[in-house]
Structure 1
Amino acid sequence: MVDIHYFAAARAARGQSTETVDAGANGLVTLADLVETLGREHTEHRAAGLTLAEVFGRCTFLADGRRAEPSAPLANVERIDIMPPFAGG
């Protein structure tokens, strides 16, 4: 299980601040798999006119507190933080 924490525009585009995903049971091997699945499945909210998938394109991702690239494996990861730019940065 991976706890997903959404911040700022990602939280607005998701419509909630956290959720838990069973990455292994859903065949999600990498961060890219997770991001693609979340963006495809959650289209009901927007942030400044952007879908969650569009917001993801501007985000930094942390896996257990460390910056993670899309190819990062999800095995043994407990927490993903999804952080869009803050204050226009």
Structure 2
Amino acid sequence: MTTTQSATVRFFAAAQEAVGQDSLTTDAPTLGVLKQRLLAEHPALTGILSRCAVLVDGARVDDDFALADARTIDVLPPFAGG
């Protein structure tokens, strides 16, 4: 029997506003699947998610990255200022 681990997805700034909460859990197999699910479940992310930095356990990864061992996924929109 295979156990699926859940990862915590944390949202910040405009992404948090679009989703309506600061975090949720996911069992998505890859980052790409997670992004598809987020867009399907939270249409307000359309136009925001593509501009976000998405970090898996602190690192930028490709959409085909497997999330099986991921703990935290951060969705960070661009921030103004500098």
Question: TM-score normalised by the shorter chain: which range applies?
Answer: 0.7 to 0.9
Match of residue 18, structure 1, among 23, 26, 30? 23
1:8 is aligned to 2:13? yes
State the TM-score, normalized to the length of structure 2. 0.84
TM-score (structure 1 length as normaliser): 0.78
Specify the alignment match of 2:50 in structure 1: 57
Change in 2 beyond 3 A, CA 1:52/1:8:
same
**Displacement after TM superposition at 1:88 (Å):** 6.3
Mapped partners of 1:68, 1:6: distance in 2:
17
Structure 2 counterparts to residues 64-79 of structure 1, below 5 A: 64-79=57-72
Tell me the equivalent position of 1:39. Answer: 39
Q: CA deviation at 1:19?
A: 1.1
Determine the C-alpha separation between the residues in 2 that align with 1:29 and 1:61.
Answer: 15
How many angstroms apart in 2 are the aligned matches of 1:55 and 1:31?
16
Cα distance in 1, alignment partners of residues 22 and 9 from structure 2: 8
Structure 2 gap ranges (5+)? 1-5
User: What are the Cα deviations for residues 6-37 of structure 1, in whole angstroms up to 9, with x where unaligned?
Assistant: 0111001111111112x1xxxx3210100110
Structure 1: gaps (5+ residues): 44-50
